[in-house]
Amino acid sequence: MDIALFYLTLISSLFLVGLLVSLLSKALKTSDVFLLVVAGFIIGEVCNYFNIPAFPRTFVNLTAILALSLIIFDGASRLKFKEFDTFSFSALKLFLIFISLNFLVLTPIVKILFKLNLLQSLIFSNLMSATAFEVLSIMLKRTNKKDVEILTLESLINAPFTVIIPFLLVEFFRDSSKFKTLSAYAMPFLQEIVSGIGAGVLIGLITFKLMRKSYSESLSPIALFTSVILTYVTAEQLGGSGVLAVTVLGLFFGNSYIKKKRILQEFSETMANTIKILVFILFGMSINLPKDPKFLGESLIVFLIYLLVRFLSVEISLPKMSLKEKLFSTLVTPKGITLATVALTLSSMMPSFEKLNNLLFLMFVYSLITSLISVHRSEWFFNKNLERVTS
C-alpha cells in the first residue's frame, strides 16, 4: 500500500474510533476525554503487537502545534476583562496559590521518586496545576453553587499560563550557560515575551479591524483560523513565544467588537473539538507504561500528595467554604487537553520525556476517575445531586 494512503487510512480510522467513543460517552452521560485516551492506549498496544508503523514525528508535532494554537485561542477568547468579579479574583487567587504550592512540594518529590531532571519535574508540577474546562463543562451543568463557578473560572484562567510556562522553561534550560548570570538570560527572555506579544497584537489589529465591519459566512471563519496559525508562526520566526502570541490574539478577540463574534467562536470551538479527538488518541498511543508495579505504587503516592496540596490551596484561598465544598473543590480537578497537548508536543520534540509522559498519563487517569466519582456522588457534598448535561 502507498505510504500516503496508509497514513490517510490510519487517520480516518482514528477519527472513526473517536466518533464512536464520543457517541458512547454521550450514552453514558460522561466526558469523552477518558475514553478517548484509553482508546488511544489500546490502539497503540495493538499497533506495537502487529508492528504497525507509528505516525512520523513531524505529523505528531504538527498536530500538537495545531491543537495547541486552537485550544489556547479558544480558551483565551473566553476571558472577558469586563466580566471579572469577586468569583474571578477568587479563582485567580486559587490558581496562583495552587501552582506555587505544586512547584514547592511536587517538584522535589517527583525528582527524587522518579529520578526526573529538574526541567521535567517543574513541567510536571506546572501541568498538575491545570484543570480542564472542556471536561468540567461536560461533567457539570452551570449552577449557582459558588465553588462550581470558581472551578470553571479557574480552568479558564489557568489554561494559558500552564501552557506557556513549560515552553518558557524549555527555552531557559536549553542553554545551561544561561544559569551563570541573570543578565545572560534576561535579553533572550524579554525578546521572546516582546516578540510574542507584538505578533499577537499586530495580527490582531489587522485581522479584527477588518472583521468589525464585515462578515462573510464562507471567508470569515477561514480568516480567523489563518490568523491563529499565522500568529503562532510569525512569533516563532521572530524568536518569540508562539504560545504567548496566540494567547494575546485570543484575549484581543474576546475583548474586541467583532461582527458575528458568537458564530466565529462556535467555529473556533468546533475546530478545537475536532482536533481534540486526534490529540487525545495520539496521547494515548504515545504511552508505554512500565510493567514495574513500583512505578504504579509511587504514582499513587504522588497523586495523594497532590490532593493534599490541592486541599491546602483551597483552604488558604477559599476559607469560607464548608468542609464538604472544600473536599469537592479538591477532588474535582480533571486533567484534559492542556496536559495532553503539551505532553504530546514536548515528547515529539524530546524523546527523553517518555518517563514524564507515562507519569502524566497516570495522573491524567487518576484525576478523571476521582472527578467522575465525586460528581456522581455530588449529593453528598451539596445535599443535592448536581445536574449533568447529556449533550
pLDDT on residue 86: 62
Judge whether 281 lies within some domain: yes
**Burial, 291: exposed, middle or buried (Cβ in 10 Å; 0-12, 13-18, 19+)?**
exposed
Span 136-179, pLDDT tens digits: 766 665 445 656 778 878 887 887 788 878 877 887 777 655 45
Which structural domain, as residue segments, surrounds residue 304? Answer: 3-382
Q: How confident is the model at residue 387 (pLDDT cuts 50, 70, 90)?
A: very low
**pLDDT at residue 241 tops 70:** yes
Q: Which range is least confidently modeled, 4-8, 71-75, 177-181?
A: 177-181
Q: How confident is the model at residue 389 (pLDDT cuts 50, 70, 90)?
A: very low
- Output the domain CATH number for residue 345: 1.20.1530.20
The set of residues, in sequence order, having a beta carbon less than 8 Å from that of 40 and lying 6+ positions away, is 280, 281, 282, 283, 284, 285, 287
The set of residues, in sequence order, having a beta carbon less than 8 Å from that of 61 and lying 6+ positions away, is 345, 348, 349
**pLDDT at residue 2 tops 50:** yes
Judge whether 65 lies within some domain: yes
DSSP string, 307-331: HHHHHHHHHHH-TTS-HHHHHHHHH
Judge whether 387 lies within some domain: no
Q: Is-contact 286 44, C-beta < 8 A?
A: yes
Distance of CA 230 to the CA centre of its chain: 21
**pLDDT at residue 338 tops 60:** yes
Average pLDDT of the residues of the chain: 82
| pTM of the predicted protein model | 0.80
Greater confidence (318 vs 134) lies with: 318
Question: What does the alpha-carbon distance between residue 107 and residue 305 come to, in Å, rounded to a whole number?
Answer: 12
Judge whether 158 lies within some domain: yes
DSSP string, 245-303: HHHHHHHHHHTS--TTHHHHHHHHHHHHHHHHHHHHHHHHHT----S-HHHHHHHHHHH
Cα atoms found within 13 Å of the Cα of residue 132, Cβ hemisphere only: 26
- Of the candidates 338, 332, 324, the residue with the CA atom closest to the CA atom of residue 379: 324
Mean pLDDT, to the nearest integer, of 15-20?
90
Domain count, the chain: 1
Radius of gyration of the chain (CA): 21
Span 28-69, pLDDT tens digits: 777 788 888 889 989 888 888 888 777 887 788 788 788 878
